[in-house]
Chains A and B, each alone.
Chain A
Amino acid sequence: MSARVFQADVIIIGGGIMGSAAAFFLRRRGRSVILLERGLLGQQASGTNFGNVRRQGRALLQLPLANRSLAIWQKLPELIGEDVEFLPSGHMRICYGTDRLAMFEDYARKARDYDLELELLSGAKLRERFPFLGPQVGGASYSALDGHANPRLAAPAFGRAAARAGAQIFENTEVVAVEKDGVDFRATATDGCTFRAPAMLITAGAWANKLSTQFGETVNLVAHGPQMGVTEPVPYGLKTVVGVSAPTDLETLYFRQIPRGNIIFGGGQRGPAYPDLQRAYVRPENTLNQLRQLQRIAPALRQLNVIRVWSGIESYLPDDFPIMGASARVAGLHYAFGFCGAGFQLGPGVGDVMAELIATGSTSTPIAPFSISRFVQPETLAATA
């Protein structure tokens, strides 16, 4: 096959939930879009994560973005024409003992300024509302509007909606080289096809650093694998997503039940992930720790069986904040990657914000703290052109 050349207003590299949502929102702003994905849409971190649509517990600086995203989740499925099983079931952070209640209170007070309403529960009131909690659970912070969705469906659904709206989506297309060639960016795939556009958005998760490095913007991006599991289905009763706030990783578990009946869980220590091999593993000892910890949260879970565990490839940055916004060095280049295991809820909002930024040159949602410039020294554009 002869190598072909494709042209659009924007090239997006990486078809996770960030890239798929960005493609969708760019089309709504009338921009022509090429979305390039090495494998299939939403296969990596976007498809293997826990499925939390949670605002509470995030750094306050992330809440405006999380709120914008929640507003999009709340418009599903009408907005994209497909159900991704978003359920605003409520989300509860719990702690063992009462040591962390002051921290919960402090967070709740500050979060109110960001329109995140949290209800604090402890003692008899907590047991009455959530009788399944174990005796070690001492308090909870409840967010009524948060919930969960199905990560296996979300990114592909945004991708299909983008395609229906006219985006050109190329799956199984691995980009090997990116450069800015005069006014246009050029991405070259392994099959020799080239893609040209005056704007580029890199949403390639754990693989983004290989691309940003080609523009002189190397960051310390590290891959880890979430440690997920799911039980056999049992009658639907635990409607609230539950996550532990604890001083150690080992205790930081979370779970949710889906109407089908299965209980999905994750947390504890992370597992090994190998972006170059496209493999990530669940450590068996992590699974056993999860079983132990989950019984602390809800003793009734001890009756159940785990039927499957899985992992994926997530990317982390040293300060636990993502990289999002314009390049520090190259005009027209944008990034949204490295969401540190907490990107799923943000995905639709990130897509919307990046589309706004690329289409208008600015965004109404504050994202300055996530700029790549915190890791990369800006250079004059003349030096890189």
Chain B
Amino acid sequence: MAQPRIVIIGAGPAGVRCAEAFVAAGLKPTVIDEGRRDGGQIYRRQPANFLRSYAALYGTEAGRAEALHASFDKLQGKMDYLPQTLAWNISEGRVHLMHNDGVRRASSLAYDILVLCTGATDRLMPTPGWEYAGTYTLGAAQVALKSQAVAVGRQIVFLGSGPLLYLVASQYIKAGAQVAAVLDTSALALQWRALPKLCARPSLLWKGMLLLRAIRRAGVPILRGVTPIHIAGDAESGVQGVRYRTAAGAEQHLVCDAVAMGYHLRAETQLADLARCEFSFDTASRQWLPQVDEQGRSSVAGVYLAGDGVRIRGADAAENAGRLAALTALADHGYAVAPEQTATLLQQQLPMEDFRLGLQQAFPWPAGQAAALPDTTVICRCEGITAGELRAVVNLKGAREANRAKAFSRVGMGRCQGRYCGHAGAEVIAAALDCPIAEVGRLRTQAPVKPLAFNVVEEQQ
């Protein structure tokens, strides 16, 4: 039997463990990754000439980061690793690549098994003024720190909700940055109520508590149940402050020169969409996600999904999911897989799902903010389209569905292709129609996954 051609997209926790499992079975997968180095977002490796320690970079997760990097290093020579490579499109049985290491080259790879370990990015709800220079996503703020050891500003407000809000704020504090405050839109009561589910992973819950304590000990205020009013500033000088309403209803103002914002995460699902996987609406996270079984099978034969790119369960669950997807693909392709290995991994995933649901409950996506956004608020930053313009195509031109509203208004038509504005845009449409969010649908993915440069050299297949 010819060995199946295996392509793994992503070299984060899911992709690395997935590759490792294929190699352990005697196969040679190809690992495609946009990054310069492996580790993904959470275990992002600093440039080779940077010398910060694992403890300094990854805190409580230093052990896991080091283990993942070491595992990946051991795979060298046993896989084809293509870093700095964008998988920009998928056609039937073939993934299309753009190599960005030096001369830009285009190539493509046929696959029998495709495992998408595409991770997640920040989920954003617009706030008036979020288009000013100095507004970063939490993820971008963390990349700046982890990769290049720089902060996004001198005086930074952390705004949003979710574990990353506290994690990145604490990392900034530890690095010596001035954090003005952590403004969490989720109410404390919600976080208490989610405790039973969060207790599914007591060690992670404990780590979260430690983060909170570290932030408080640094004298940085944590406010919960906050409603952002606007980011103050102007187009020339950028961010100058944040105006918000406290849980008690008082309007307050914080001076800052940067805002790091985000509301937990959204799965990067474009490749699954281009691979023609079916999607369904996930009520817990209020987002459309690719359909997947517990072992990682998508609706398309030969296409497997693992990690935060399909369900936001975090890095530990992603490592398991990467292994599971590999074992499942192996079994599906006639390789012997010890059933207890799969069973153990499936068992370990159970508390991960409980914890995911707990996080969604504790740090909910602030859907309600969308209805209250002033008409002048920019929704689509790439195209500069406001909430008012989006509402107008809903109310005056009858656009009741996300793609229709995009066609009429241009929301989601810019460089990011709706990756950052898509969820908020859908909420604005649903609020304007007073209909369930699922009825608005989701923006169809169109290639390229990220902007594709004209000046490429094509490799002959």
Cβ B89 vs Cβ A287 within 8 A:
yes
Closest A-chain residue to B418, C-beta based?
Answer: A308
Closest B-chain residue to A231, C-beta based?
Answer: B454
Distance in angstroms between the alpha carbons of A291 and B417 in the assembled complex: 20
Cβ B407 vs Cβ A152 within 8 A:
yes
Cβ B451 vs Cβ A284 within 8 A:
no
Cβ B451 vs Cβ A288 within 8 A:
no
Interface size on B, residues (CB 8 A): 27
Partner of B404, one of A40, A292, A294, A301: A40
Contacts of B454 in A (CB 8 A): 231, 291, 294-295, 301-306
Binary contact track A148-164/B, C-beta < 8 Å → 1, others 0: 00001100100010000
A200 CB, min distance to chain B CBs, angstroms: 25
The yes or no answer to A86 lying at the interface (CB within 8 A) is no
The yes or no answer to B199 lying at the interface (CB within 8 A) is no
Distance in angstroms between the alpha carbons of A160 and B88 in the assembled complex: 37
The yes or no answer to B447 lying at the interface (CB within 8 A) is yes
A86 CB, min distance to chain B CBs, angstroms: 17
Given A156-B408, A307-B414, A308-B413, verify A288-B456 contact (CB < 8 Å).
yes
The yes or no answer to B455 lying at the interface (CB within 8 A) is yes
B356 CB, min distance to chain A CBs, angstroms: 31
Cβ A283 vs Cβ B91 within 8 A:
yes
Distance in angstroms between the alpha carbons of A231 and B401 in the assembled complex: 25
Distance in angstroms between the alpha carbons of A284 and B109 in the assembled complex: 12
Cβ A47 vs Cβ B446 within 8 A:
no
The yes or no answer to A379 lying at the interface (CB within 8 A) is no
The yes or no answer to A316 lying at the interface (CB within 8 A) is no
Contacts of A283 in B (CB 8 A): 91
A146-182 interface (Cβ within 8 A of B): 152-153, 156, 160
Cβ A232 vs Cβ B89 within 8 A:
no
B407-430 interface (Cβ within 8 A of A): 407-408, 413-415, 417
A277-309 interface (Cβ within 8 A of B): 281-284, 287-288, 291-292, 294-295, 301-309
A57 CB, min distance to chain B CBs, angstroms: 25
B427 CB, min distance to chain A CBs, angstroms: 21
Cβ B408 vs Cβ A153 within 8 A:
yes
Closest A-chain residue to B106, C-beta based?
Answer: A288
Contacts of B458 in A (CB 8 A): 288, 292
Distance in angstroms between the alpha carbons of A284 and B447 in the assembled complex: 9
Contacts of A107 in B (CB 8 A): none
B129 CB, min distance to chain A CBs, angstroms: 23
Contacts of A306 in B (CB 8 A): 448, 451-454
Distance in angstroms between the alpha carbons of A232 and B452 in the assembled complex: 10
B306 CB, min distance to chain A CBs, angstroms: 24
Closest B-chain residue to A311, C-beta based?
Answer: B446
The yes or no answer to B108 lying at the interface (CB within 8 A) is yes
Cβ A287 vs Cβ B451 within 8 A:
no
Q: Footprint of B on A, CB under 8 Å?
A: 40, 47, 152-153, 156, 160, 231-232, 281-284, 287-288, 291-292, 294-295, 301-310
7 pairs from A and B in contact (CB 8 Å cutoff): A295-B455, A303-B454, A304-B454, A305-B453, A307-B415, A307-B417, A310-B446
Q: Footprint of A on B, CB under 8 Å?
A: 88-89, 91, 94, 96, 106, 108, 397-398, 401, 404, 407-408, 413-415, 417, 446-448, 451-456, 458
